[in-house]
């Protein structure tokens, strides 16, 4: 994998999780946070860690944020700080700026001033959890951008012994099966062909639209 330089502005739970997840994947990570202990805790995995204010353009330039391929503004508590951080990153020439938000207003403001992508972790997690609770046939559900979700579920009894070609799920339900895993293992197998046969010892993963998710029991029950 090619080496990318990722900037993370703010090392709360969200920013720290991003840094730790990226570390094994040959990414150069530049982090800025106004708490020295946060920087010190992640120092072993950071290419550069700077203690300071993410709204200070000069400090961001000195930290090397202008060299980043992507910057994540990982603080969402203060809209003014997020606005300034996004503006400074775009002014420094960062190709892609992703910002965390907590409200619809913040989302609209940050998109208007140049943020390339907005993430609302609490809302998105809440929506996914609520839909998972509603659709008890699913084992996991993740809402992606726009009108798309990834859903993991046990194959319905009426699917067992039938093939992908038999069921024509893409045509009938706008559902694309992307893999399956045995109930006894976590490894996802994505080697699927039209003659793949559904069986009860597996959990299936699919990409589908929200309308299909909302009526999941109607065709899987």
pTM: predicted TM-score of the whole model, two decimal places: 0.67
Q: Which helix (H) or strand (E) holds 5?
A: strand 4-9
Chunked in runs of 10, what are the mean pLDDT values of the chain (221 residues)? 83 92 89 96 95 97 96 90 96 95 89 91 63 59 72 88 91 87 79 90 86 72 60
Q: How far is it, in rounded angstroms, from Cα 144 to Cα 18?
A: 17
Cβ atoms of residues 86 and 97 within 8 Å = yes
- 4-119: which CATH topology? Rossmann fold (3.40.50)
- 124-220: CATH class: alpha beta
- Structural domain boundaries in the chain: 4-119, 124-220
State the sign of the Cα–Cα–Cα–Cα dihedral 31, 43, 64, 57: positive
pLDDT at 129: 57
Q: How far is it, in rounded angstroms, from Cα 182 to Cα 204?
A: 9
Cβ atoms of residues 198 and 161 within 8 Å = yes
pLDDT tens readout for residues 60-114: 999 999 999 999 999 878 899 999 999 999 999 999 999 999 888 898 999 999 9
**Number of Cα atoms under 13 Å in the Cβ half of residue 105:** 4
Cβ atoms of residues 102 and 120 within 8 Å = yes
pLDDT at 1: 41
């Amino acid at each position: 994998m090619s080496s990318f330089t990722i900037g993370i502005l703010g090392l709360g739970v969200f920013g720290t999780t991003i840094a730790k997840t990226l570390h094994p994947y040959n990414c150069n990570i530049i982090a800025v946070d106004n708490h020295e202990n946060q920087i010190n805790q992640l120092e072993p995995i950071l290419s550069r860690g700077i203690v300071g204010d993410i709204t200070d353009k000069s400090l961001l330039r000195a930290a090397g944020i202008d060299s980043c391929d992507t910057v994540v503004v990982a603080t969402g508590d203060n809209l003014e700080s997020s606005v300034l951080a996004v503006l400074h990153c775009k002014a420094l020439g960062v190709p892609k700026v992703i910002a965390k938000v907590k409200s619809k207003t913040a989302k609209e403001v940050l998109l208007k001033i140049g943020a390339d992508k907005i993430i609302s972790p609490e809302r998105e997690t809440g929506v996914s959890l609520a839909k998972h609770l509603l659709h008890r046939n699913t084992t996991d559900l993740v809402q992606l951008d726009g009108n798309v979700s990834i859903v993991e579920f046990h194959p319905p009894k009426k699917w067992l012994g039938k093939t992908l070609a038999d069921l024509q799920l893409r045509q009938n339900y706008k559902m694309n099966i992307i893999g399956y895993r045995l109930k006894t293992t976590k490894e996802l197998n994505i080697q699927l062909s039209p003659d793949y046969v559904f069986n009860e010892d597996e959990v299936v993963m699919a990409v589908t639209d929200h309308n299909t998710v909302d009526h999941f029991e109607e065709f899987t029950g």
